[in-house]
Structure formats: structure tokens, C-alpha cells
Amino acid sequence: MYKVETHSVSVWYGSYKALDAVSLALERNQVLALIGPSGCGKSTFLRLLNRMNDFIEGFRIEGRILIDGEDIYAPTVDPVHLRRRVGMVFQKPTPFPFSIYENVAYGLRLQNRLKESQVRERVVQALQQAALWDEVKDNLKRSALSLSGGQQQRLCIARALAVRPALLLMDEPTSALDPISTAKIEELIHELRNSYTIVVVTHNMQQAARISDMTAFFYMGKLVEYGRTKDFFTNPQHPETLKYITGRFG
Amino acid sequence: MKDKWAKRVFQAAAGTTFLILLGLTFFLFREGMPALYRSPYEELVFAVHPANPVQQLSTNAVRSLVRGEKSWRELGGPDTPAVAVHLGNIERYLSGPFLPGQLQRKLDSLAHLSGIFLALPASLMPGFAKRIRVPWRGGAEIFGSSRWSPTYEPVPAVGFWPLLVGSLWVGAIGLFVVVPLGIAMAIYVVEFLPARLYYPVKVMWEVLAGLPSVVVGFWGLVIVVPWVQRLFHLSAGETALTAGLLLGWMTLPLMASLVEEALQAIPQLLYESSYGLGATQWQTILRLKIPYILPSIATATLLSAGRILGETMVVLMVSGNAPILPLSPLDPVRTLPATLAAELGEAPVGSYHYHVLFLMGVFLFLLTLALNLTAYFIRPRDEKA
């Protein structure tokens, strides 16, 4: 069974068609990179997977999206429950104005089912997974806003991991970071692949080539090309893909 | 060339504003400070019967002696009933039209009363009387006394406490109304109000904010006062509660706008992060948004408090105007600004009453200045999350 499957998914915002019949399938423990010029629909696609687009007025979807075989737009699905299974990291670090500990515990406390000792265990684990533990273990009570940008982004990854999502979404997670922090995040994505399935939007083709197993190229709302990253960058099948990855537009 | 003139005009405007502010402050202090070192009865002389051993009386002793609450014996004087003669009751000693000399003869004829107490201008003081001292300690009278009766003869009572406590009751009740309601209104508008109703609602806020306070006061007098009276079975509906409710309601647009602004300024990615972790809308509001805007809520509360404490017209109309120490919110009260408005017109310029009202103005000015400065210093800085 595929981790994520989409079957001819189209999306409208009002009368504007943002995605046109996108079909793809992603296996477990793989990293999928979504690339394409601004406005091509890659972020829209990413936000479909945790139903973040539901907030936008005039949003409408056709087609089916399955995560672990379950249709996430079925009427019986509560988007709140879906989002507990699908973590998300944004293009800028978004630490809450609380302590490091409370940031990571935020998602855990929403469900109110864990004892404080369990919360603590999961917080520590998530910080370790996000490769932040060594830098913050001495003072988890520090304000999250006092961390550097790169640390904040890893904190946000830890926060998403703490609720043990089935799928992790990242929307240009390094676009606001310096090269060293970016390298750390990329390394982290590489390690997280062992236990998570990850979908990453990126503007940076080298990054897509470095971190992903699969690459999807979107252009004007269409999925133009989708394949293994190795083949994608060495032997693109579509002329548009070739033009984009060689930097002739976008 | 034009720019240079424009710059000068702006400089002049800014400078004028600053000078006016400076001048106002200076004037307020200059007129208020004499209340601390001058005495309200500088032109009066106090005297008793020569056989009376008392040399000095406190202001409180004089008040209770005049009101008949204390006897001479309790104050160290003779065992005879006190007879007080002062400008407030001197007409009793005049029969018929005022004739020169008549009053003097009448006062002289009181020499046989060993319990006599006289508080008169030196020119009227009869020769037989022995002068005593009644020292006036301005600071203690103003900040230590719980009575406000600034025209009481012969010794006025000018304690700020009843008025300050009145202001505090009204302010507390007003904040009790405006803070939760203002936050609730702001959350409703930001989170739940359909977009097409946003501008109509905002226009309504502006209208409410722009209502002349005398209109609000009139509405309160006709509607809220009888309502409070019936609800609590009071003899009069003009209470601290009535004024507090109306002031809280009047301040709602300010409070709600400030909180709404803070809510709108929360970065989208920040609350999307909360939703992304599986938070419901209410969880996001209660666990992220409200904690996030707490500094703004504190600022908005202080600014609202300043507004409520400074409001005059409505309190004057619906608070009952009783300058007595209020023990419950259902007592009639008078606030500091209402007192200024009510009494400044009838206080002769340069009189002690006039100075003490200005001192009250200084006090009110410092109070609101402190509130506004605190609000300024705790306001959230532009901190990008």
C-alpha cells in the first residue's frame, strides 16, 4: 500500500483552477520533493495533504487523496484529527512565544490524554529526533524566541514530530535560513526518512536533488513530471522540466 | 523653498502643542500646590472664653465641637455646653437688618458663656476672647481624611479618599465589564464574523465610540438607572454600579479595537502551525492566540482604565454624586473628575477650595499619566515570530 495516493485531484479557489487532475503515489519512508515556479500549485498540493486549504474561502476539491489507504476528504473525516496525523513545518520558523518545552509539548497537550511524565518523555524524544536536544537540554524553560533561526526551525520540526505523525509536510523549510542551518535541516530530513514519509516543497533544485527520493514538477497547476529523483535530474522526460531544471524559466 | 516653509509650519505646530502641554501642566501644578501649604482659614481667628484652659484644637476636634458630637470636657475644656459661633451660623445672632455695631454688641454680650467657641475674622472678634491655635496640616487633611466637605464652616474637610474610592469602584466595575466583553467582541469579529459583515460591525463600533458622553449619560439616566434601582430594590438607581456599567460599555469600542488589532497582527503561519498540530479553533484561540496577545490585552486594559477614570459627564449624571466614602458598588458615589466638574465653577478663584480642586486635577493627571506610561512601556514591541 502506498503512503500517499492522489487520484486526479483538481482544486479551485472560487473560479480559479489551481490544480488540474494531479495523480501520484508515494511509498512509505520516502522523501518527495515538490518543485516548480511560483504559483504552479506545489504549495496548494502540499496543503491538501493536511487539509490546510479548507480555511480558504471558495476552496473546492475534486478527486481523491488517500493517506494510508484512507480517503482524507471523505465526509466522515474530521480535519482536526487528520492534522494530528500529518505534521507540517512552514517556510519560516514559527515558534510559539512559550518555553522550548511548552512548544514541543503543545501538540501533545491538545489531546489531554498523556501524563506529564509521558509528555516529558515525548518532548525529549522529539528534540533528539530533531537534532536539537544537545543544544537545548540544559534549559528547556528558555523562551523559544531566544533560539537562532535554524534552531527555531528544528524546534518546529520537533514540535511536529512529538505528536508522532504518519506523514510530515515541509513548505520550503529552509527558505529563511542561512546555509549552515540549511545543511543541518537537510541532514535531518535525511535521517528522518528512516522513520517518516516526508513531502517537501522547495525552490532549490540542488536541495531537491540532495534530499529526495522522488521529485514532482508542477507547472501551471499540472503535474508535468513525476519520477525517481535520480532519473528526474539526469534524464527529464518533458521539455518544460528540462527548461526549468536548467534554469531557463521560473 | 516650499519644502522649507512646510517644514517650518510643522515645526511650529509641534512646538505649539508641546508648549501648550507644558503650560497646562505648569498651570495645574502652580494652582494645585498651594493646597498643600496654605490653610483654608487664613483669615479666620479661633478663640474661646478666657477661663477655658484649651490652648490648641485639632481640625477634627473643631468639627466635632461645632457639630455637637463632642463636649468641651472631652477636649480638655470646662464642663459647660459648647456654643459655637462662626460664619456659617452667625446670622442667628443678628435680628432684623444688619446694622453696624449691632453684631459687635451682640458678640460682646456672649462674654458670660464659658463654653463659647468663636471662629471669626479678626475684625469681628470680640475683645474678651482668648485666642487659640487650630493648626492645618494640608497633606494629612487631603490624603488622610475620609470626608469631603470643602465648604464646611469653619473648618472644611478635603479628604480625597471618598472620591478616590468612588473612582476606583467605578473603574473596577467598568474594567470588569469592558475587559471580558472587549476581548470576546474582538475574538468574535476576527474568528467568527462573516467577512461581509466586518465593515458594518466596524462602523457600528466607530459610531459607539463617537457618541457624545452626555448622550450616553442621558440614556443611562432614563434606562439604566431605573433598571438598577428595580433590580436591587434601591431607593435610588444612581450608584457606582450604574456608572461603572455605562463607562465599561462606552469604552468597549476602544478595548475591542485594540484587542482586535493585536489578534489581526498574529502572523498567519503562527496559528497555522497550531492548526497543523491538530488544534481546534477554540484550542488555537485559548492556547495560542490569547497568550500571544496578553501584552496587548494589558496595554488595552490600562488605556481603558485611563479612559474610564478620566470620564466626567456620564458619572456626573448617573453616579449619584455623593462625596461620601462608598462601601458597596450599590452606594452613590462621586469620582475625582466629576468632583472637579461639579465644583470648580462655584469655587472662588484663589480660594482654598479652588486650590484643592486643582490639586485633585494634578492627582488625576498623574494617575492617568502613570496608567498611560505603563501601557506604553509594556506594549508589545515589533517582534517577528
Q: Is the pLDDT of residue B324 over 70?
A: yes
Report which DSSP code applies to B326. Answer: -
Q: Quick check: B280 contacting A, CB < 8 Å?
A: yes
CATH number at residue A235: 3.40.50.300
Q: Is the pLDDT of residue B382 over 60?
A: no
CB–CB of A5/A66 below 8 Å? yes
Contact call for A84 and B278, based on CB within 8 A: yes
With bands split at pLDDT 50, 70 and 90, how would you rate the model's confidence at A80? very high
Q: Which residue has the higher pLDDT, A127 or B102?
A: A127
Per-residue pLDDT at B29: 94
Last residue of a domain, one of B135, B170, B197: B135
CB–CB of B46/B119 below 8 Å? yes
Contact call for B274 and A96, based on CB within 8 A: yes
B83-101 mean pLDDT: 77
Per-residue pLDDT at B379: 74
With bands split at pLDDT 50, 70 and 90, how would you rate the model's confidence at B96? low
Residues of B in contact with A98 (CB under 8 A): 291
- At B304-321, the pLDDT tens digits run 999 999 999 999 999 988
B311 and B181 within one domain: yes
Q: How far apart are CA B32 and CA B362, in angstroms?
A: 7
Q: Where are the beta strands (DSSP E) in A79-220?
A: 86-89, 167-171, 197-201, 214-219
Q: Quick check: A78 contacting B, CB < 8 Å?
A: no
Q: Quick check: A80 contacting B, CB < 8 Å?
A: yes
With bands split at pLDDT 50, 70 and 90, how would you rate the model's confidence at B100? low
Q: Quick check: B269 contacting A, CB < 8 Å?
A: yes
Per-residue pLDDT at A249: 66
Residues of B in contact with A92 (CB under 8 A): 269
Residues of B in contact with A52 (CB under 8 A): 272, 275-276
Q: Is residue B307 part of a domain?
A: yes
Q: Quick check: A87 contacting B, CB < 8 Å?
A: yes
Q: How far apart are CA B307 and CA B290, in angstroms?
A: 23
Contact call for A83 and B273, based on CB within 8 A: no
Contact call for A55 and B269, based on CB within 8 A: no
- At B365-377, the pLDDT tens digits run 999 999 989 988 8
Percentage above 90 pLDDT, chain B: 65
User: In angstroms, what separates the C-alpha of A146 from chain B's closest C-alpha?
Assistant: 11
Q: Is the pLDDT of residue A209 over 70?
A: yes
CB–CB of A150/A184 below 8 Å? yes
Mean pLDDT across chain B, nearest whole number? 90
Q: Quick check: A96 contacting B, CB < 8 Å?
A: yes
Q: Is residue A197 part of a domain?
A: yes
Per-residue pLDDT at A243: 87
Q: Quick check: A160 contacting B, CB < 8 Å?
A: yes
Per-residue pLDDT at B353: 94
Percentage above 90 pLDDT, chain A: 79
Q: Is residue A27 part of a domain?
A: yes
B187 and B101 within one domain: no
Q: A47: domain range?
A: 4-94+165-245
B323 and B239 within one domain: yes
Q: Quick check: B102 contacting A, CB < 8 Å?
A: no
Contact call for A83 and B291, based on CB within 8 A: no
List all residues of chain B from 65 to 84 with a beta carbon under 8 Å from chain A: none
Residues of A in contact with B276 (CB under 8 A): 50, 52, 83, 87-88, 90, 160
With bands split at pLDDT 50, 70 and 90, how would you rate the model's confidence at A250? low
A4-29 mean pLDDT: 94
In a mutational test of the A interface, the residue from B193, B266, B271, B273 whose CB has the highest number of chain A CBs within 10 Å is B273
Q: Is residue A33 part of a domain?
A: yes
With bands split at pLDDT 50, 70 and 90, how would you rate the model's confidence at A60? very high
Out of B269, B280, B292, the one facing A90 most closely (by C-beta) is B269
With bands split at pLDDT 50, 70 and 90, how would you rate the model's confidence at A44? very high
With bands split at pLDDT 50, 70 and 90, how would you rate the model's confidence at A57? confident
In a mutational test of the B interface, the residue from A78, A96, A143, A157 whose CB has the highest number of chain B CBs within 10 Å is A96
Number of domains in chain A: 1
Q: How far apart are CA B255 and CA B264, in angstroms?
A: 14
Q: How far apart are CA B146 and CA B327, in angstroms?
A: 12
Q: Where are the beta strands (DSSP E) in B33-180?
A: 44-48, 83-86, 116-121, 130-132, 148-149, 157-158
Name the grid cell of B54.
484649651
Q: B53: domain range?
A: 44-135
B93 and B178 within one domain: no
User: In angstroms, what separates the C-alpha of A195 from chain B's closest C-alpha?
Assistant: 19
B169 and B110 within one domain: no
Q: Is the pLDDT of residue A25 over 90?
A: yes
Out of A83, A145, A163, the one facing B275 most closely (by C-beta) is A83
Q: Which helix (H) or strand (E) holds B310?
A: helix B290-310
Residues of A in contact with B272 (CB under 8 A): 52, 88, 90, 94
Per-residue pLDDT at B384: 41
Name the grid cell of A250.
521560473
Number of domains in chain B: 2
Per-residue pLDDT at B385: 38
Q: Is residue B7 part of a domain?
A: no
A–B interface: beta-carbon pairs under 8 A? 72
Residues of B in contact with A149 (CB under 8 A): none
CATH number at residue B270: 1.10.3720.10
B195 and B331 within one domain: yes
B149-176 mean pLDDT: 92
With bands split at pLDDT 50, 70 and 90, how would you rate the model's confidence at B78? confident
User: In angstroms, what separates the C-alpha of A193 from chain B's closest C-alpha?
Assistant: 20
A102-127 mean pLDDT: 92
Q: How far apart are CA A91 and CA B22, in angstroms?
A: 50
B165 and B129 within one domain: no
Question: 3-state class of B45 per DSSP?
Answer: strand
With bands split at pLDDT 50, 70 and 90, how would you rate the model's confidence at B98? low
Out of B276, B278, B288, the one facing A96 most closely (by C-beta) is B288
With bands split at pLDDT 50, 70 and 90, how would you rate the model's confidence at A1? confident
CATH number at residue B52: 3.40.190.10
Residue B86: beta bridge partners?
A: B119
Q: How far apart are CA A200 and CA A153, in angstroms?
A: 14
Q: Is residue A140 part of a domain?
A: no
Q: Quick check: A145 contacting B, CB < 8 Å?
A: yes
Residues of B in contact with A96 (CB under 8 A): 270, 273-274, 288, 291-292, 385
